[in-house]
Amino acid sequence: MMAVEAVPVALITGANSGIGRVTAEVLARQGYRVVLACRSQARTQPVLEAILAANPAAPPQWLALDLGCFDSVQACAAQFLASGWPLHRLILNAGQGGGRGLSASGFERAFGINHLGHFLLAQLLRERLCQSAPARVVTVASALHHRANGLDFDAVRQPTRSLTGLPEYAVSKLSNVLFSAELARQWAGTGVDSYCVHPGMVDTAVWRRVPRPLRPLLRWAWGWVPAEQGARTTLMCATDPALVGQTGRYYAREREATPSALGQDEALARALWAHSAAWTGTAGLTS
C-alpha cells in the first residue's frame, strides 16, 4: 500500500549537475521531498548535502540510474515504488549530447539515453503518478529538435553515424517532444499532466562528450545560458498553478511555444510510442 507522505514528492533524473541540480534545489526549498536519480552517488552527494541543509524536514534521496540500461531503469523504478511514497512530479531532465555508439541496451546512444530510458521510467511509474494525481511529468527537450529531418526507426537501432553525434541528438530531442505530446493523449483523464520544455541552450555536462575543439564554437553559435536561467521553464511547468490542465504543450523561455512540424505529427508520435513500448517491453503498461 502506498504510504501517506505529508509533503509533495518529485523525482528528477540527472539532478547532480546543471539544470537538474538547480531544479532539485529549488523544489526542495519549496517544500518538496526530492529524489535524485543519477548514475553516480559520489557526484550526487554534494547536492544531497546542500538540499538536506536547506530542507531537513524532508531528506533527499539518491537512486542509481543509468538511462541507457533498461535493467538499471527497472531497478530504479522498483526501488522508488518500494519506498511507498507518492509521486507528484516526474522530471525527465537527464540527457547526453555529442556522444557516439550504442547505449547499454543496444540503441543509438542519444536515442537510447535521452528518449527510451525516460520512456521506460515513465511507464514503470505511471500507476504511482496516477495514484498521486494531480501530478505532472515534465520532459526536458531542446529547440534543436527543429533540426531533425525525420525519425528513422531502423537508424535508432544502429550505432551513431555522424562524427559529432549532433544530428542524432536532434532526433532524440524530437523524440522527447513527440513522447511528451503522446503521453498527454495516452494518459488523458488520469489527472497527470504532461509538459515539454526547451530550457535554452544551457552550458552543462550534457555536452561533455562533444569534442573539445567544438565546444567554444557551440557556445558562440548557440548563445549558451547558465543553468539557473535554463531551469526556469522546467520549474514553471512543474509548479505554476496556472498551467493545471494545460497538458501536452511545449514551452520555451517561460512561455508556450510551437514545436517543429514533425514535433506536431500525431501519427509519428503514435508510431514512436508503439515502437518504444515494444522495445522496452511495456506494451501492456502504456495505454
* Active site positions, annotated: 169
Q: State the cell numbers at 111.
A: 536515442
Secondary structure (DSSP) of 24-36? HHHHHHTT-EEEE
Residue 220's contacts (CB-CB under 8 Å, 6 or more residues apart) are none
Task: Using alpha carbons, select from 104, 96, 81 the residue that is nearest to residue 13.
Answer: 96
- E strands in the chain: 9-13, 33-38, 61-64, 89-92, 135-140, 192-198, 249-252, 255-257
Task: Using alpha carbons, select from 143, 136, 118, 243 the residue that is nearest to residue 199.
Answer: 143
CA-to-CA distance for 218 and 192, rounded, in angstroms?
Answer: 36
